[in-house]
Structure 1
Amino acid sequence: MRTIRLFAFQHRDELQIGITYKFDFKLNDFIKNMEGMRWSRTYSCFYLAYSVNNKKRIYTVLKKIGCIIDYSALKDLKTETVETPEGEHSNLNPQQLEILEEFQNYLNGQRFSKSTLKTYTTFVQRFIAFQRDKLNNITNRRIEIFIEQEIAGKNYAISTHRQCVSALKHFAALHRFPELKAEQISSPRKYKYLPVVLSKEEVIDLLRATQNLKHRAIFALLYSSGLRVGRALQFFQYQGGFTSCMQAGKYQKKVTPHTLRHSYATNMLENDIDLRHIQSLLGHSKPETTMIYTHVTQKELMKITSPLDVSLKALSNSDKKDGNMRLSRNVFD
């Protein structure tokens, strides 16, 4: 039986699923003719856009022809992307497709990024499919039901929930549905959390525990530059392994590759680098985003002195002439 290995890599500014295998003419022709399949000269492999649906499709199709699928390199990869159910786009009628295309053109006109355009379009596409033929009867309650069932009901992250609400507000702004009051569509409060941070010693331990030289180079790049993992992967054909390295390091913290970016910023603050410089290096548009790294820098915590210690130190300095002075101001022999 032929073994096929799947791995994730960044290509053309998007995450892709790469397919590698020992060359075989029949298998090569079969994979080449799969819907949506493309060839990368850079990585010398066939690939599809990364999505849960495509991963399942590759697995199902190749399993049927007797291949062994090794997708272990994809197991550590977690994304917040909301997947579109298979066939959902094809189930939209011509009128619905026209409305979706009009929304895409509206987003393009607003100069949204490619990533935001894709995310917002996916949410609206799912909402249109949810509404079926009732697009003229969109109310606040219908939107609430959609969010309750499709977003909150499926335990998507709060950040994803907020993106969905934002997409639907833009959809409402475009079409001005008479019974819909867009300003009343509420978003959940933004979740405030303190990022997990590794100390300098823990980062060194991680690098020591990483046996694969390419993985070690990736981790070193993430920590030394503060890059997001997607940007770093443009330089490497990464195939997972972060979790196993963290297990080898025996950390109790819940750590991901993005933790190295948090650690970079926090450790830079500990080294007395100005917050404005760190904001520029991280590419944050707002200083408030960078301010989160001022939460618990170890160096600053160590500088904090108890008020009692301050008082005793002042008292001690004033009584240097008599080293036998007690706190009660009595002299002991």
Structure 2
Amino acid sequence: MSIDFSNYKFVSGEHKNKKVIWILFDYKKYSIDPLRNIISVKYSNTQKSWYVPDLNRNRQSIGLEIIEFQNANNLTKEHKIEFDRYIQTLKLKSYSPNTLKTYANEFIAFLQMFTQYNPQEITTDLIRRYLVYCAQDLELSEFTINSRMNAIKFYYEQVLHLNRMFFDIPRPKKPNLLPKVLSVNEVRQIINLTTNLKHQMILKSIYGMGLRVSEAVNLKIEDLDSDTMLVHIKGAKGKKDRIVILPETLLLELREYYVVYKPKEYLFENRFGNQMSTRSIQMIFKNGLELSKSRKKVGVHSLRHSFATHLLESGTDVILIQQLLGHNSIKTTLTYTHVSRKSIQKIQSPLDRL
């Protein structure tokens, strides 16, 4: 049974010294009964609200991410007001849940260093000294410091609408890491050793179409067009749509899968008929990787990297690969030329010619 989760709001909290997820909704319009069918709910007479224990299995059943903010309750009254404005602005600008959570936690860390200041009175010099402290004393990674800079800039530029801020310290250089890629044989092994039909179709779809895991869970039946053999990926990273190929072999297998599982809306639904979680798909890949006895430390995103690399090795134009992956810059796609094994293997070392 499909449930419209937009009718309910899930908030993490505590009840009787235990972590719980409160379920808030309009009692006049909606009922708790739809949720009873998928999860064991409880009622608090003291709080006059329904809740469930905050456990991983309950989060997966709900199918929604509960956004938590680290130490938000420790903020001063003034800071809480600004923090609420910060969150509202992020939501109004339709930032993704992951970005919202990251920016919020970075902003909290920033506010907690200036408890004696009103956030609007923190000077550029103080911000600069704080960032130097993060780099030199806390020894935060390049990614974390860049993220913290962006979170601070968002507050002053987007919430307070001040001029664009420039910090007179160099942005830490991000490490130039190559994408982790599997060989064709390794991909084949992981897929073949995943015997559950639904799980196998998920892995084949990610590899066969070069999807991000978030795109796989958001894929709807209506997005697949068997006449044109194309798939419409909607609202992907950066809120962009794109078109990808639908492999012929995958279409035939998906038809068999459809007869067995009968998904209603999303192509891949959990046993309660709701959208699958990204965590579930990550575990499916991890299990397949362990069965293959591979020593590589890779995640499910390596299937997307492998899709691009294997296309490049087969002679596909890099511009087309860029379009299929949805990259803004060709430079991002060109990264795969550095991990293409066939092009490297063709090179003869000068040592061999001595």
- Please say whether Structure 1 and Structure 2 have the same fold, judged by a TM-score greater than 0.5: yes
1:84 alignment partner, SS class: coil
From 278, 283, 290, give the equivalent of 2:333: 290
What's the counterpart of residue 194 of structure 2?
Answer: 210
What's the counterpart of residue 35 of structure 1?
Answer: 22
Counterparts of 1:43 and 1:221, CA distance in 2: 32
Paired residues in the alignment total 257
From 161, 165, 169, give the equivalent of 2:149: 165
From 38, 48, 55, give the equivalent of 1:45: 38
From 158, 170, 184, give the equivalent of 1:200: 184
1:190 CA drift (Å): 1.2
Alignment-mate amino acid for residue 132 of structure 1: T
1:196 alignment partner, SS class: coil
What's the counterpart of residue 284 of structure 2?
Answer: 241
From 44, 66, 84, give the equivalent of 2:69: 84
1:164 CA drift (Å): 1.5
Counterparts of 1:195 and 1:84, CA distance in 2: 30
1:241 alignment partner, SS class: helix
In the alignment, does 2:95 pair up with 1:113? yes
Counterparts of 1:124 and 1:229, CA distance in 2: 27
What's the counterpart of residue 123 of structure 1?
Answer: 106
1:191 CA drift (Å): 1.6
* Kept after mapping to 2: 8 A contact 1:147/1:153: no
Alignment-mate amino acid for residue 277 of structure 1: L
Counterparts of 1:245 and 1:72, CA distance in 2: 24
Alignment-mate amino acid for residue 265 of structure 1: A
Q: What are structure 1's unaligned runs of at least 5 residues?
A: 1-10, 18-32, 48-57, 64-68, 313-333
Distance 1:190 1:253, change over 3 A: same
In the alignment, does 2:309 pair up with 1:266? yes
Distance 1:231 1:207, change over 3 A: same
1:297 CA drift (Å): 1.0
Query: Which range moved further: 262-271 or 129-138?
Result: 129-138
* Kept after mapping to 1: 8 A contact 2:181/2:339: no
Counterparts of 1:227 and 1:42, CA distance in 2: 31
What's the counterpart of residue 330 of structure 1?
Answer: none
Counterparts of 1:152 and 1:114, CA distance in 2: 31
* Kept after mapping to 1: 8 A contact 2:312/2:318: yes
* Kept after mapping to 2: 8 A contact 1:197/1:259: yes
**Offset from partner CA, 1:1-48 (integer Å, 9 cap, x none):** xxxxxxxxxx88xxx99xxxxxxxxxxxxxxx942468796996359x
Counterparts of 1:290 and 1:42, CA distance in 2: 44
Distance 1:141 1:98, change over 3 A: closer
* Kept after mapping to 2: 8 A contact 1:198/1:260: yes
What's the counterpart of residue 319 of structure 1?
Answer: none
Select the structure of larger CA radius of gyration.
1
In the alignment, does 2:206 pair up with 1:219? no
Q: What are structure 2's unaligned runs of at least 5 residues?
A: 12-19, 26-31, 41-50, 219-266, 269-275
Alignment-mate amino acid for residue 184 of structure 1: D
What's the counterpart of residue 190 of structure 1?
Answer: 174
Aligned-pair identity (%)? 28
1:184 alignment partner, SS class: coil
What's the counterpart of residue 54 of structure 1?
Answer: none
Counterparts of 2:157 and 2:67, CA distance in 1: 22
2:167 alignment partner, SS class: helix
* Kept after mapping to 2: 8 A contact 1:89/1:125: no
* Kept after mapping to 2: 8 A contact 1:194/1:292: yes
Distance 1:176 1:150, change over 3 A: farther
Counterparts of 1:165 and 1:183, CA distance in 2: 9
Task: With the length of structure 2 as denominator, give the TM-score of the two structures.
Answer: 0.57
1:244 CA drift (Å): 2.7
